[in-house]
Structure 1
Amino acid sequence: MGYVNLVFFMIYPFLFELVFSSSSPHLCPKDQALSLLQFKHLFTIDPNVSDYCIGIRGQWIQSYPKTLSWNKSTDCRSWDGVHCDEMTGQVIELNLTCSKLQGKFHFNSSLFQLSNLKRLDLSYNDFSGSLISPKFGDFSSLTHLDLLLTSFTSLIPAEISHLSKLRVLRIRSDYGVRFEPNNFKLFLKNLTQLRELDLNVVNISSTFPLNFSSYLTTLWLPYTQLRGKLPKIIFHLSNLESLDLTNNPQLTVRFPTTKWNTSASLVELYLSGVNFTGKIPESFSHLTSLLDLVMSSSNLSGPILNPLWNLTNIEVLDLHNNHLEGPISPFLRFGKLREFSLKNNNFDLQLEYLHFNRSWTQLETLDFSSNYLTGPIPSGVSGLQNLQSLSLSSNHLNGTIPSWIFSLPSLFDLDLSDNHFSGKIQEFKSQTLFSISVKQNQLEGPIPNDEGLPQATTPFGLDQEEEGDSSMISWQAVLMGYGCGLVIGLASLMELYLYSVNATGRIPESFGHLTSLHTLELLSCNLSGFIPKPLWNLTNIDELNLAYNHLEGPISHFFRFGKLRELLIGKNNFDGQLEFLSFNRIWTQLEFLDFSTNSVTGPIPSNVSGMQNLQLLSLSSNHLNGTIPSWIFFLPSLDLLDLSDNHFSGNIQEFKSQTFFSVSLKQNQLQGPIPKSLLNQHHLYYL
């Protein structure tokens, strides 16, 4: 017994050290910490990036610079986005999604020295058109690789296919990422463990391969230029939950007529913009787990067939822009709908079934626009209190707009335009309205609440906004309409639109308080008189449209708006000369300039510069004279030029622009031959 105790006490220190060392986490290896710091210093933090990203499922993700926590004085296990193996200390996961990184991602980035990485997420950063390095294929232990919206460009290297343990692969870029022609099949050959594959907007440009992993749960290949026939094997991937092939118009899809192996698992099916052939088969009725069905612009026609009516768990149903027909009332059996669109089809009959609808209590979005619906909207509708967006535009509906629509508490977007509604617009209950359009109807009476803007608990006024009245509604954009329509936009009033409203009188001086305004369009509103002085204080204006009114005053005053991209004041009574253009150095962003049908006189100055971005220039129907100056002929991006109905003389010079669509110089005293640069324009519309 004493011998045993002696042995125990001899080996006890070694056992203690072994247990202690195995249970204590190792520090991050210095070489890996150094690699991360080197990676950090290659990028800047973009201060203009939003504080939130929108994830692939529409969820909000907080965006913040994770690498700011990386420094030499702390162990890298405590750094944001860095995860280490508890036993070895090796960096095994790097999550830098939404980190506001900006800069070039080098081919030999120090990141590739982290050889034990299992998960790498670089999504939602800006790598400024960097090439995707073949060294991504060296991460032999990698199971997750996420390069969504990283601004990578060019080819996807074949070396990524060496990642045989990969379970999740997401690559998407607005810069143009592509495979070599017909290389997609080879790319998939070794990726036999894939669960999720998201190649949204990647240019695949090949037929659909057959060798997908049998473990796939998510297959997203929208906007990838796939072509040929969709193989039926896709419908027999037994674990598939989500399939998205949106906008592959050269891809022909025909559903299997027998029960699919995916029937029990498929939850989301997105097939908009594909070349669908045949009818929806009986096998569709077995998709009892389906929650989202989106088949817009898929060449569907005829009545809805019986198999679809069995999908009673559907929450999102979008069949817009097809040739479907028949009554809408059978859709009432879908009692779990949240989003429902039949826009731009041939559905007919009336909406009386809404009167007894008690099943759409969860509905948030309803779009029946551009069909053949007739009759009134029922007045006794309840059960749609969660509606946020309602569009019934471009039908043949009539009668008054019922009170229940104005009482919807969460309404965000309402479009009843292009119907035959009559009567008045009532007060809206919703505090969240963003867009309202009731144009092209026979509505009458005053716009609700003074200027048509809904009120909170106190009357709305510009003075209250400046004083920070917390009870006021924060509107961002509102469309309303009488006759041709009225549009009002507000986000601390950044956009204001009034189209074809018989407003009469002058532009109110109160508009001058709208100092955040970027867009002001008062088109065809029967306005007259001078532009009020306070309006010239709106120096943030970049779009100004006052066309088709009776406004007057010197045209040179518009020179005060230095950020303009569009200035459209045609069909008014503005006068004066254009000499102010000769010293104009602030309209460098101007793309559209229309002074037509006014009373402008004199020549066009010859020494104008700084307007090289002009795409449209219309000075027609004025009293301009002299020669057409050279700077107009040298505009590189000019699409439309109209100098007709003036008193110009001299020759027409050669044009520099290669993008002409329309040129009109008629009703002048021009002479000489037509320039070759115009004769060579195959798409020239008018001369």
Structure 2
Amino acid sequence: MGCVKIVFFMLYTFLCQLALSSSSPHLCPKDQALSLLQFKNMFTINPDASDYCDSSHPRTLFWNKSTDCCSWDGVHCDKMTGQVIELDLHCSHLQGKFHSNSSLFQLSNLKRLDFSYNDFTGSPISPKFVSHLSKLYVLRIGDLNELSLGPYNFELLLKNLTQLRELHLESVNISSTIPSNFSSHLTTLQLSGTELHGILPERFFHLTDLESLDLSFNPQLTVRFPTTKWNSSASLIKLYLYNVNFTGTLPESFSYLTALHKLDMGYTNLSGPIPKPLWNLTSIEILYLDYNHLEGPISHSTIFEKLKRLSLRNNNLDGGLEFLSFNTQLEWIDLSSNSLTGPNPSNVSGLQNLEWLYLSSNNLNGSIPSWIFSLPSLIELDLSNNTFSGKIQDFKSKTLSVVSLRQNQLEGPIPNSLLNQSLFYLVLSHNNISGHISSSICNLKKMILLDLGSNNLEGTIPQCVGEMKENLWSLDLSNNRLSGTINTTFSIGNSLRVISLHGNKLTGKVPRSLINCKYLTLLDLGNNQLNDTFPNWLGNLSQLKILNLRSNKLHGPIKSSGNTNLFTRLQILDLSSNGFSGNLPESILGNLQAMKKIDESTRTPEYISDIYYNYLTTITTKGQDYDSVRIFTSNMIINLSKNRFEGRIPSTIGDLVGLRTLNLSHNVLEGHIPASFQNLSVLESLDLSSNKISGAIPQQLASLTFLEVLNLSHNHLVGCIPKGKQFDSFGNSSYQGNDGLRGFPLSKHCGGDDQVTTPAELDQEEEEEDSPMISWQGVLVGYGCGLVIGLSVIYIMWSTQYPAWFSRMDLKLEHMITTRMKKHKKRY
């Protein structure tokens, strides 16, 4: 009985202490609260620091010493001791350096630490994680910033954090091999994009508790699977090995991964048929084998009865889609970029859960199967780059957000049911779709990209299109049969980046309301029948990079402006095939600041694009027209050809050192080629043909080593063609129609000397050529006088018997005639 009383008393005392401790207003020790506040003050709050997060908020913002730190957002304490054991600051908008003497390391009882998706760019991860935080169970630091963890510290971390269960270091620069000595308690290891190399230790596959292994995006890391059964076979649920160095075939030991739910072996050089060991993975829900060399048909095996997501894109698979009739749980299918041909199942009734279907870039033909239009849950559909024909049917799904049917042979009108969806991405370009554009298209209030280009649409552009201002980024109605004026009023506050109405029959003026498109990057109104003067006010669009107004009825001089901030970002200016007159627009050409620097990205060229659209336009370069092509960031093009520009070529064009293509052909330009063109060091194509340009070709142009195409034909150029480098590769066609030119490759030679006629001599020659009657009169007078004097001299010589004096005069006269003949030959 006494023992019972003692036990009861001890239990009572313990419960009282527990109650008192739980009601205490200061569970968190003061030194730990101070450490956390010091840590907080090392960083600033920047919402952009966590812009990759679906949801984020500044957790440290309301930390203050007047409250218990265990109540702070992201801080978790031990209920018994009050010690901070967990710090979760993922997606917390933190920005700054993670210092090696951080007060954080005083929290020696931390078991869970999550700093992922903040901005610690440039911070080295301190080895003090090892020496001071040795009780960590979970460590998450990975994000998309430039963090580094040296090989030595990485080895220490794996070796000494003996209690570690989860390690997440995604995108941390480790640049190391993986040591074989690490915690045997590991359940999760995520090391994607860490620049690992060497061979993955086989011990990883024998960790009995391992559930998730992610080594993706480490192309220098070699992975070899054990040929015998793995110890982790029963526990492994997730295996991500995208873009690692894997060779050979999958061993039979793969068949034992019966718990595996997710497998990603994309871009691992798998070849041949889909590996048989995979067919026994009865629990698999997500299977990604994209970007490999798999071939043959896709089996209709029902073994993958739990499969929800399947990606086999970018392989060499053929055959049809019959297997879809047997996999009823599928939510996501991506078979793009294969060689699938059919036959397609006529009826697939089991895919009630299918939300994403991607079959682009195959050889599928015939009508689009009716079961696709009947999918009740469909969200995204991409059938582009096939040879589907027939009409677009009504979709049963009310949840569609993306529809891409581009580059097929579809015909008929756009179904109205498609225009009553919550679409944000509609691409029907490069088909044979006909009819009018219904004003119902303006019901697509969430639309971001609308591409109906290269079809047979006719009629006018609905006026309401310009009022789709909330989300619309890209509007492409190019290469149709649209007519009438552009009566669309583009509203203030619109989000348009791209407007392409190229290749229609549009008339009237360039709509002034375009000035409201303050984000506009590409404006292509080329190949229409617009009748207007140059819209100089477009230069106020500060984001404009591509302006194409070619092949219209634009006319008149391009007026100068004192505003030096017009067209500062422009890198493609095409005003060709219009009726512009007057001098070249020197004030505009002088404002092209984007062309005054050389794009350093030429070694690794990138396209101008955004997340929704690859910018396309029509360009003329290197003597060729290219319709609807993607634009490199390095493309700097000026095309003012086929107008009525006159006067001299401004020497200020030489300041546009980033220029790649310059076309001023088929105008009435005069004067010399500016020597400043020698500054255009990356110029690839120069066309000045069919003008009235005179003088010599500047010798300095021989320094343009990138020049591939040169056309100076049909001008009034004279003198010797420069020698060396690129000029040795140009043919006769580059110079024909210039009767005064000499030198390679023309038949008129420069006489073997390397002298180049100076501009002053050329001007003197032109003056002489301008007065041919005076020159010939002088010649006749000279010859007449010479004849009389010569006869007189001969008479005197013979009469006075001075043959020696005559002999000396004869030699001097011969030398003078020879010298004059040589000079005459050089000129002609």
* Distance in 2 separating the partners of 1:53 and 1:174: 8
Q: Which of 669, 680, 699 is 1:673 aligned to?
A: 699
Q: Verify the 8 A CA contact 2:399 2:421 in the aligned structure 1.
A: no
Pick aligned residue for 2:565 from 572, 576, 585: 585
Contact 1:439 1:485 in 2 (8 A): no
Q: CA deviation at 1:209?
A: 2.8
Q: Does 1:392 align with 2:355?
A: no
Which string of whole-angstrom CA distances, capped at 9 and with x for unpartnered residues, describes residues 62-81 of structure 1?
A: 42222332234433333222
Q: Which has the higher helix share?
A: 2
Q: Which residue of 1 aligns with 2:199?
A: 229
Determine which of 253, 256, 259 is the counterpart of 2:229. Answer: 259
Greater Cα radius of gyration, structure 1 or 2:
2
CA–CA separation in structure 1 for the residues paired with 2:52 and 2:635: 36
Report the CA distance shift for 1:630/1:169 in structure 2 as closer, same or farther (over 3 A): farther
The match for 1:616 among 612, 635, 638 is 635
- Aligned-pair CA distance for 1:221: 2.1
Which 10-residue stretch deviates more, 572-581 or 203-212?
572-581
Bigger shift: residues 279-288 or 426-435: 426-435
Q: Secondary structure at the match of 2:220?
A: strand
Aligned counterparts, 1:167-186, within 5 A: 167-180=137-150, 184-186=154-156
| Per-residue deviation, 1:464 | 7.8
One-letter identity of the residue aligned with 2:192: P
Higher mean displacement: 665-674 or 283-292: 665-674
1:213-248 Cα deviation digits (max 9, x unpaired): 222222222222223333333322222222222222
Counterpart of 1:263, as a letter, is S
The aligned residue for residue 660 of structure 2 is: 640
1:653 pairs, out of 661, 667, 676, with 676
User: Is 2:686 aligned against 1:664?
Assistant: yes
Q: What letter matches 1:569 in structure 2? A: N
Q: Which amino acid aligns with 2:547?
A: L
Residue 545 and residue 188 in structure 1: after superposition, are their counterparts in 2 closer, same or farther (change >3 A)? same
Q: Which has the larger displacement, 368-377 or 297-306? A: 368-377
Secondary structure of the structure 1 residue equivalent to 2:233: coil
User: Is it true that 1:302 corresponds to 2:272 in the alignment?
Assistant: yes
Describe the superposition over 1:502-539 as per-residue Cα deviations: whole angstroms up to 9, x where unpaired.
24214642352484232233254424223553642533
Q: Is the 8 A contact 2:390 2:411 kept in 1?
A: yes
Corresponding residue for residue 206 of structure 1: 176
SS of 2:385's equivalent?
coil
Secondary structure of 2:300's counterpart equals helix
- Give the counterpart letter for 1:366 in structure 2: I
Q: Is the 8 A contact 2:490 2:517 kept in 1?
A: no
Aligned partners of 2:125, 2:675: CA distance in 1, in Å? Answer: 53
Counterpart residue number, 2:535: 556
Distance 1:432 1:130, change over 3 A: same
SS where residue 177 of structure 1 aligns?
coil
The answer to whether structure 1 residue 519 and structure 2 residue 497 are counterparts is: yes
Q: What is the aligned partner in structure 2 of residue 439 from structure 1?
A: 406
Number of the residue aligned with 2:550: 571
Cα offset, 1:301, TM superposition: 1.0
Shift of 1:632: 4.8
Equivalent residue for 2:446? 474
Are 1:112 and 1:135, in contact at CA under 8 Å, matched by a contact in 2? no
1:530-564 deviation line (CA, Å, top 9, x unaligned): 35536425333322231543143333345265232
Task: Give runs of aligned pairs for residues 374-393 of structure 1, distance below 5 A.
Answer: 374-375=341-342, 377-393=344-360
Task: Specify the SS of the correspondent of 1:330.
Answer: coil
Whose relative contact order is higher, 1 or 2, with alpha carbons under 8 Å and at least 6 apart? 1
Cα displacement (A) at 1:366: 0.9
CA drift of 1:256 comes to 2.2
SS of the residue corresponding to residue 673 of structure 2 reads strand
Deviations 1:73-102 (A, max 9, x none): 433333222333444444443322222234
Amino acid in the other structure paired with 2:28: C
CA displacement at 1:322 relative to structure 2:
1.4
In structure 2, how many angstroms separate the alpha carbons of the residues matched to 1:368 and 1:485? 31
In the alignment, residue 46 of structure 1 is paired with which amino acid?
N
Question: What is the TM-score with the length of structure 2 in the denominator?
Answer: 0.67
2:235 and 2:259 in contact (8 A); partners too = yes
Higher mean C-alpha displacement, 207-216 vs 319-328: 207-216
Counterparts in 2 of 1:185 and 1:81: CA distance versus 1, 3 Å: closer
Corresponding position: 1:453 with 2:453: no
Separation in 1, partners of 2:123, 2:38: 19
The aligned amino acid for 2:243 is G
Match of 1:249 among 202, 210, 219: 219
Residue 324 of structure 1, CA deviation: 1.0
User: Secondary structure of 2:160's match?
Assistant: coil
Shifted more, 261-270 versus 188-197: the winner is 188-197
Secondary structure of 1:324's aligned partner: strand
Counterpart residue number, 1:469: none
**Residue type of the partner of 2:123?**
L
- Choose from 236, 245, 254 the match for 1:275: 245
Aligned partners of 1:440 and 1:481 also within 8 Å: no
Q: After the TM superposition, which residues 340-355 of structure 1 pair with which residues of structure 2 at under 5 Å, given as runs?
A: 340-354=310-324
Determine whether 1:122 maps to 2:93: no
Q: How much does 1:268 deviate?
A: 1.5
Worse overlay, 435-444 or 491-500: 491-500
Structure 2: distance between partners of 1:229 and 1:138: 24
Aligned AA for 2:250? I
Q: Is the 8 A contact 2:223 2:244 kept in 1?
A: yes
Maintained 8 Å contact 1:625/1:646:
no
- From the superposition, tell whether residues 73 and 527 of structure 1 become closer, same or farther in structure 2 (CA, over 3 Å): farther
* 8 Å CA contact retained: 1:409, 1:430: yes
The residue number in structure 2 matching 1:131 is 123
Q: Between Structure 1 and Structure 2, how many residues are aligned?
A: 630
Question: Closer, same or farther in 2 for the Cα pair 1:120/1:585, shift >3 Å?
Answer: same
Q: Secondary structure at the match of 2:189?
A: strand
Q: How far did 1:424 drift?
A: 0.9
Return the match for 2:292 from 315, 322, 328: 322
Distance 1:103 1:322, change over 3 A: closer
In structure 1, what residue type is equivalent to 2:543? L
* Residues 521 and 508 of structure 1, relative CA distance in 2, 3 Å threshold: same
Q: Which secondary structure state, in structure 1, belongs to the residue aligned with residue 310 of structure 2?
A: strand
1:510 to 1:306, Cα distance in 2 relative to 1, 3 A: same
Decide whether the 8 Å contact of 1:436 with 1:480 is kept in 2: no
Could you tell me how far apart the structure 1 residues matched to 2:303 and 2:454 are? 36
Contact 1:509/1:532 (<8 A) preserved:
no
Aligned equivalent of 1:495: 473
Shift of 1:282: 1.2
Deviation at 1:286, TM superposition (A): 0.8
How do 1:28-39 residues align onto structure 2 when only pairs under 5 Å count?
28-39=28-39
The Cα shift of 1:334 comes to 1.3
Q: Name which of structure 1's ranges 80-89 and 601-610 shifts more when overlaid on structure 2.
A: 601-610
Q: Matches of 1:651 and 1:534 in 2, distance apart?
A: 36
Q: Judging changes above 3 Å, is the alpha-carbon distance between structure 1 residues 171 and 122 closer, same or farther for their aligned structure 2 residues?
A: closer
- Residue identity over aligned pairs, in percent, reads 48
SS of residue matched to 2:294: strand
How far apart, CA to CA, are the structure 2 residues paired with 1:107 and 1:677? 53
1:384-423 equivalent positions in 2, closer than 5 A? 384-423=351-390
Equivalent in 500, 503, 517 of residue 539 of structure 1: 517
1:505 aligned counterpart, secondary structure: strand
What is the distance in 2 between the residues matched to 1:39 and 1:206?
29
Distance 1:675 1:363 in 2: 63
Whether the 8 Å contact between 2:77 and 2:84 is mirrored in structure 1 is yes
| Separation of aligned partners in 2, 1:481 and 1:463 | 15
- Look up the equivalent residue of 1:672 and give its one-letter code: P
Q: Name which of structure 1's ranges 560-569 and 241-250 shifts more when overlaid on structure 2.
A: 560-569
Contact 1:206 1:225 in 2 (8 A): yes
The amino acid across from 2:665 in the alignment is D
* Aligned amino acid, residue 142 of structure 2: R
Hey, what does 1:153 align to over in structure 2?
A: none
Q: Structure 1 unaligned runs (5+)?
A: 1-13, 55-59, 143-163, 466-471
